[in-house]
Amino acid sequence: METTTITLPAATISGHAHRSATTATSTPIHNAATGALIGWQEQATADQIDKAVREAHKALPSWRTTSPATRAKLLKKIAELIEADRARLAAMQMQVSGKPPFEANLDVSDAAATFDYYAGLCAEAAAFTPETLKLPDDTVTGERFYEAVGVAALIVPWNFPMVTTAWKIAPALAAGCTVVLKPSEFTSPVEHMLAQIIAEAGVPDGVVNLVNGGGAVGAQLTAHPLIDKISFTGSTASGRKVMQAAAQDMKRVTLELGGKSALIVRADADIERAVSLAVGGAFTNAGQMCSATARILVHDDVYRKFMAAFETAVRAIQVAPPAEDVVMGPLVSAAQRERVQALLAQGVEAGASVAFSGQLDPACGDGFFMAPVVVAEPAVDNVLWTDEVFGPVACVKSFRTDEEAIALANDTRYGLVATVVTADQDAARRYKTQLRAGLVWINTPQLIFPQVCWGGLGLSGIGRELGLAGLRSYQELRHALTDAA
């Protein structure tokens, strides 16, 4: 049994830890792979939240006027320190989330790459250079430029700690914003490690602050009158509440919410590749991904062949605590596992049929594990087909024409991603055009690069992260007209 070694402060403000006066509001931190208690997290008070926002507001004038070159050096240093601390960061990811080593190390790489990318944008400076406009009146000159929005509240989920945080903090700092981060109470230890790295890199006090707690802390943070921008990643239900709070002061918002995405296997698909993409798309991070392609559409001509190969692959998935040969880890908490199992039971009771499932390694013990499950031919109104499960449950349906596949894939209120497996380039172009998704992968795993924007349509959210658009989401577009005389 692991011993309790972590006690996280209620807040880190201007580089200083702020402790709670009482342990009554502290929440436990568990190792998802063993169920063991590994520490406690104090919850920020209303006064601490207010102080964090005010310190960010105080630091804003100085930070937003630093040169892009200065910000580039600091962001580059953060990226280098993340890489240098890879072993410790990955170990904490595995301890808190239970992720297999390859997933934990990929998270470290993604975080470092994001800071490095925005360091590059700052170093190039083109994104920060005012643009001269051509106007029909020669007596007036026009200019377009971008300015930091202000103080940003960043609220991140538990499924990709440090990664989603980097997606928000790096462009915010690059834009000249100051921030207050609220991590998930389930996975905050790795977020605190990242905050320490940012401070070590030399980012001035007050530019990056952190407050701990659950939904109540997030609600107080987003409602603060000195917050200018909210970037939230989480459930669609919570996103609605964030948007409502933002409306009071017309705060700028970016919402990266849920998904119910499709993977389409055409008749000409390489079945081995299709199965590999299906396993990765549905069961990476135990299915705890907004981008999970858990609605798998397979052409009728290859349906039996696909299902036979998919069953073999799913039954071979090693579900176990972190180790080099482990494919799938646990869910983040006992409560999350109960939620997923309840949705599965609801779907089965409504008529869905489990085609096959994987199995748990004996080493899973008291961890929050769940075997992967595949459901065949659910009704289009079944909860497993329509709702985001956020766990290792995949559904497979057959189709006969491209038109039917596209209609089934688009028959959702979400629109985050999609994957298409085909050898036909013309068909690939048609799918890219007609699928209602923010990002479409063709014959590739779910590759995510900082240069490529991330975000969706419909209930999947508002705005984009990463890429140049990710930077612009922390800036206000402004113009100036000047007498040319």
Task: List, by residue number, the catalytic residues.
Answer: 256, 290
Backbone angles phi, psi at 215, to 5 degrees: -60, -35
**Residue 143 amino acid letter:** E
C-alpha 445/C-alpha 208 separation (Å) is 34
Question: What is the edge-to-edge ordering of all strands in the sheet holding 208-211?
Answer: 16-18, 11-13, 208-211, 178-182, 151-155, 229-233, 252-256, 461-462
Q: For residue 121, give the H/E element and its range.
A: helix 101-124
- For 1, which DSSP code? -
> Is the Cβ–Cβ distance between 305 and 351 less than 8 Å?
no
- For 438, which DSSP code? S
Q: How far is CA 300 from CA 48, 161, 268, 305, 402, in A?
A: 58, 39, 11, 10, 11
Backbone angles phi, psi at 147, to 5 degrees: -135, 145
**Residue 478 amino acid letter:** R
C-alpha 190/C-alpha 112 separation (Å) is 14
> Is the Cβ–Cβ distance between 104 and 94 less than 8 Å?
yes
Q: Which residues of 249-276 are buried (b: 16+ CB within 10 A; e: fewer)?
A: eebbbbbbbbbbbbbbbbbebebeebbb
Q: How many residues does the chain have?
A: 485
Strands 475-483 and 178-182: unpaired
**Residue 315 amino acid letter:** R
For 325-368, the DSSP string reads T--B---S-HHHHHHHHHHHHHHHHTT-EEEEE--B-GGGTTS-
Place of tokens 């990463």: 466
> Is the Cβ–Cβ distance between 92 and 189 less than 8 Å?
yes
Q: How many CB atoms lie within 10 A of CB 135?
A: 12
3-state secondary structure of 454: strand
C-alpha 466/C-alpha 152 separation (Å) is 16
Sign of dihedral through CA atoms 457, 459, 463, 466? Answer: negative
> Is the Cβ–Cβ distance between 458 and 414 less than 8 Å?
yes
